[in-house]
Amino acid sequence: MWKHLWRIPVEGTHFRRQACLGIYFPDFISHSLKLIIEVDGAHHGLDDQRQYDQTRTLWLESQGYRVLRFWNHEVKQELEAVLDANFTVVDERRRDLANDAP
């Protein structure tokens, strides 16, 4: 996923990999867009992990971030669809943040 994020052809979409936000280290984060992209493996389907992920997502959202989650197999088997979804949300975030600016 990391090597493909540059393919989002929108200015201001700088993503960092596993940068700190509070006590969390999201997989990919754009501070300027307040956007987090997570790529989850099979263990995220376990009950305890799902509960942890939900708590984590709620905290990240309370900080103004939008969290996108994809499964590993989606990234591997449907990369173009994942990138299209990312592009759509990046565009939405840019417009939303521009409208919120003073």
C-beta separation of 26 from 16 below 8 A: no
Residue 47 per-residue DSSP state: H
pLDDT at 45: 61
pLDDT in the model for residue 2? 74
Tokens of 64: 């103004």
- Look at residue 41 in the predicted model and tell me its pLDDT: 72
pLDDT digits (tens, 9 = 90+) for 28-83: 999 989 999 999 775 656 677 788 889 999 999 999 999 999 988 889 899 889 98
Domain ranges of the chain: 17-41+54-93
